[in-house]
Amino acid sequence: EVQLVQSGAEVKKPGESLKISCKGSGYSLATSWIGWVRQMPGKGLEWMGIIYPSDSDTRYSPSFQGQVTISADKSTYTAYLQWSSLKASDTAIYYCARPIPAAPYHWYFDLWGRGTLVIVSS
Amino acid sequence: EIVLTQSPGTLSLSPGERATLSCRASQIVRSSYLAWYQQKPGQAPRLLIFGASSRATGVPDRFSGSGSGTDFTLTISRLEPEDSAVFYCQQYGDSPFTFGQGTRLEI
């Protein structure tokens, strides 16, 4: 089955660090990017960034540049989203998704993970 | 950054009716790089339409997309109760690749 498997829900305190993961299976991972999308409680979708695990080429939305780090493990084709110091405003569901290139560097998402809920509260 | 404005905010219709959802961009969307997603409560989004008018695999032909430039439309004919969801448009023509704020469809 073609799917993206995300790590489980997290409850953290402000100031703590966190790294969540996303692993694809059932398709050719060696030539695939993985993207991240945020959905804050009761809100819409926000495109965060995208990574090519094979060489770690990473593109960020300006809104998230410097706020999070997207990384990947080439050996397992797993993508990660991490924070060095969480804030309450980072509370959200974070989805990973498989980007399909309509042209080089122009992607839409055709496969989504189930999401990782991150709650940041003191 | 291209801003996508979706209308209406909420649409309430009956089974069998037709729904017309609008997505207007603040600038021309290059090459009609516009996608539509459906999100049901507690679920991840699901791709419906890409390239403004191409249906994704497995999407019923009741769903159709149209438009170009700055104005795009998602039409759902013969509404069914399970179509209740929030629908988002997304442009992927210019980085950052932005989403609209969503239209809630109530059946």
The closest CB to that of A107, out of B39, B92, B100, belongs to B92
Among chain A, residues having any CB pair with chain B shorter than 8 Å are: 37, 44-47, 59, 61-63, 95, 97, 100, 102-103, 105-115
Mean pLDDT of chain B: 96
Burial (CB count within 10 angstroms: exposed 0-12, middle 13-18, buried 19+), residue B14: exposed
pLDDT per residue as tens digits for the range A86-112: 999 999 999 999 999 888 888 999 999
Neighbours of B69 (CB within 10 A): 12
- Cβ partners under 8 Å of residue A27, min gap 6: A2, A98
Percent with pLDDT over 90 in chain B? 96
Distance between CA atoms of residues A119 and B32, nearest Å:
37
pLDDT at B31: 87
Q: Which whole-number Å values give the CA distances from A119 to A87, A94, A116, B28, B82, in the listed order?
A: 10, 11, 10, 37, 30
Q: Minimal Cα–Cα distance from A74 to chain B, Å?
A: 25
- Interface contacts A/B by beta carbons within 8 Å: 66
Under 8 Å between Cβ of A55 and A70: no
With a pLDDT cut of 90, the percent of chain A lying above it is 77
Interface of B with A in 76-95 (CB under 8 A): 88, 90, 92-93, 95
Question: Which chain B residues contact residue A110 at CB under 8 A?
Answer: 47, 50, 56
* Nearest residue, CB atoms, B96 vs list A63, A103, A106: A63
Between residues A65 and A74, which one has the greater pLDDT?
Answer: A65
End-to-end C-alpha distance for chain B, whole angstroms: 33
Specify the pLDDT at position A76.
86
Closest partner CB to A46 (pick from B30, B37, B99): B99
Are the beta carbons of A113 and B50 separated by less than 8 Å?
no
- B41-93 per-position pLDDT tens digit: 999 999 999 999 999 999 999 999 999 999 999 999 999 999 999 999 999 99
Q: Which of chain A's residues have a Cβ under 8 Å away from the Cβ of B102? A: 44-45
